[in-house]
């Protein structure tokens, strides 16, 4: 089954407690991907990396792969990197592309397209998003175990495990804290939650967890990106929604 990836035009609709809801207008669609999960733009090489699960999100079947997409929406290379299982999150540091793959962290040399390193995340069940700090340390969320792993040097280890992480998904390093977009509390068998998630922050030095903004539930949060203007864009996977969270949503301890 071919799955299209769409490039969307975003139109603001309403303002609600510093959170904007958006509608999306499809600008173009690219066929050929197989269960695409994440896309990452490489400004230096002017190319977009796309992770393809190609199957069930927890299957270790070697069918997962990374594709290359041009900024014009053309599929440049469907199977640029193969042999992965169910690749999801992507982050780049220098010439290395890091990929989360169920219970492993994989690095790929973007110049050669070859796997450069693989690390096992002991105890992980569903590695998801990635973030990297200024020193090159890579953080990886595990949604099912409410954990965050960290690659420091050549060692990947459990950095933080806490129910207060609320099944973490999206990650972004923001100065001295790690912003987390959680799925929510009380995860059900159908992946819904009794309580939707809201943005939280983890202090990188103390690992203390704090609420960002009012703490009111927003949704089953997934992707998290800066809009470049001090605000944050976050997706709600279950609702198929995109929100912009205003820069005035500061941590409660600030």
pLDDT digit string (tens) for 1-26? 334 444 333 333 222 334 455 556 77
Report the distance separating Cα 74 and Cα 137, nearest Å.
32
Q: Are residues 199 and 84 in the same domain?
A: no
Local confidence band at 248 (pLDDT 50, 70, 90 cut-offs): low
Could you list the residue range(s) of the whole structural domain that residue 92 is in? Answer: 1-12+28-120
Q: Are residues 129 and 253 in the same domain?
A: yes
Structure tokens at 104: 């492993």
Q: What is the CATH number of the domain that holds 54?
A: 2.40.10.480
- Phi and psi angles of residue 50, each rounded to the nearest 5 degrees, phi first: -130, 125
Structure tokens at 56: 């069930």
Q: Are residues 220 and 106 in the same domain?
A: no
47 in a domain, yes or no? yes
**Tens digit of each residue's pLDDT (9 = 90 or more) over 30-40:** 889 999 999 99
pTM over the 0.85 mark: yes
- Mean pLDDT of the chain, nearest integer: 87
**Radius of gyration over every alpha carbon of the chain, rounded to an integer in angstroms:** 17
22 in a domain, yes or no? no
SS3 percent helix, strand, coil of the chain, rounded to 5, is 0, 60, 35
152 in a domain, yes or no? yes
Per-residue pLDDT, averaged over 226-237, amounts to 87
Report the distance separating Cα 160 and Cα 141, nearest Å.
10
Tell which wins on pLDDT, 68 or 243.
Answer: 68
Tell which wins on pLDDT, 136 or 27.
Answer: 136
Polymer length of the chain: 254
Domain count within the chain: 2
**Tens digit of each residue's pLDDT (9 = 90 or more) over 79-126:** 999 999 999 999 999 999 999 999 999 999 999 999 999 999 999 999
End residue of a domain, out of 87, 120, 153: 120
Tell which wins on pLDDT, 148 or 11.
Answer: 148
Report the distance separating Cα 52 and Cα 122, nearest Å.
23
């Amino acid at each position: 089954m071919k799955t299209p990836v769409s490039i969307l035009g975003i139109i603001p609709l309403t303002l609600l407690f510093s959170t904007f809801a958006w509608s999306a207008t499809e600008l173009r669609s690219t066929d050929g991907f197989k269960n695409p999960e994440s896309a990452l733009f490489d400004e230096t090489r002017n190319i977009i990396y796309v992770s393809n699960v190609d199957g069930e999100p927890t299957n270790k079947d070697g069918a997962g792969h990374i594709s290359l997409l041009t900024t014009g929406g053309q599929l440049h290379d469907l199977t640029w990197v193969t042999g992965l299982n169910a690749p999801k999150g992507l982050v780049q540091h220098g010439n290395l592309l890091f990929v989360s793959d169920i219970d492993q962290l994989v690095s790929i040399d973007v110049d050669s397209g070859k796997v450069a390193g693989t690390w096992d995340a002991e105890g992980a069940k569903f590695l998801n998003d990635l973030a990297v700090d200024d020193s090159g340390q890579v953080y990886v969320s595990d949604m099912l175990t409410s954990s965050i792993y960290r690659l420091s040097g050549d060692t990947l280890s459990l950095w933080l495990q806490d129910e207060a992480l609320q099944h973490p998904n999206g990650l972004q390093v923001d100065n001295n804290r790690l912003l987390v977009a959680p799925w929510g509390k009380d995860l059900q068998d159908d992946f819904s939650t009794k309580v939707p998630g809201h943005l939280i922050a983890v202090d990188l030095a103390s690992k203390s967890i704090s609420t960002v903004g009012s703490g009111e539930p927003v949704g089953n949060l997934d992707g998290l990106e800066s809009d470049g203007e001090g605000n944050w864009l976050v997706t709600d996977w279950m609702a198929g929604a995109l929100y912009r969270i205003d820069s005035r949503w500061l941590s409660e301890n600030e």
